[in-house]
Homo-oligomer: A and B are copies of this chain.
């Protein structure tokens, strides 16, 4: 049996008319309907649910189809989403906007079943946060890179993978290692462990991946103090123009043979290239060169980017 009796439509219509059409405040409506303002607030919510009040907004096209097509044909992308972002928006707001409007796109690109490799980063975090709960998937989510530093933040692959599984169900395989270690020997030690080897296997067989594409300048690593200005200079010296999952690549999309290469614990770019569906996320025109390189190297197959970034990419 349903509830006792939800409020009659007549009352809802009256309250809604007084509030929306006649422009009275809820307190005033309350006097006329003879209930508390509190109740009017709730009544109006119900009226909205029931469709007695309908709010329609002229469609806002958050994506720039034209640029998307251009990107796809020019770079042979599987799919692309170019998100309009307020002019003069900082990179922070850009990521935020991309996240908001791009999440459905990314969710649609990702498979419903199989193995999904997930990298870290702020852009990816913005996306994952906005995945809708409910549409249960059967994914095996695999952490594609270690944690950036000891204080795990919500942008670490560890947290993002966890979040995806929490929302969509499925299994989550963690790396439980740092992203960067002090030297090759330490890295090899980690890689030799059974857990890592197990995860590593899955990563190599991943059906899809979700990663951020960063430039050297604005990487999380510098921000978090993992990489110093000197390190950046060294990497640039090796030809690095971009980074994915802590791995640096040159303008041709080849992983740079830097001294960092042996200290990273994350999916190797050559493996990434073999994953059929890789969704890359990049925010800001500053990242254009990095994205261009990633596309050239074939690391990224689907792209989520902002308008300015797309324009820079097409121009460059």
Contacts and interface: CB of A to CB of B under 8 A. Distances in A.
A97 interface: yes
Interface string A1-21: 000000001110110111011
Interface string A54-71: 111111101000000000
A14 B60 contact: yes
A147 B21 CA distance: 36
State the copy count for this chain. Answer: 2
Nearest to A58: B52
Contact of A55 (B9, B32, B54, B90): B54
A58 B11 CA distance: 11
A89 interface: yes
A53 interface: yes
A88 B35 CA distance: 10
A56 B58 contact: no
Given A57-B21, A58-B13, A96 B31 contact: yes
A166 to B, nearest CB: 21
Contacts of A52: 57-58
A16 B96 contact: no
A100 to B, nearest CB: 7
Contacts of A16: 57-58, 60
A22 interface: yes
B57 A93 contact: no
Contacts of A32: 86, 89, 93, 96-97, 100
Interface in A87-125: 87-90, 93, 96-97, 100
A285 interface: no
Contacts of A22: 100
17 contacts: A9-B58, A13-B57, A14-B86, A17-B59, A18-B100, A20-B55, A21-B57, A31-B93, A32-B93, A32-B97, A32-B100, A34-B86, A34-B88, A47-B57, A52-B57, A53-B57, A54-B56
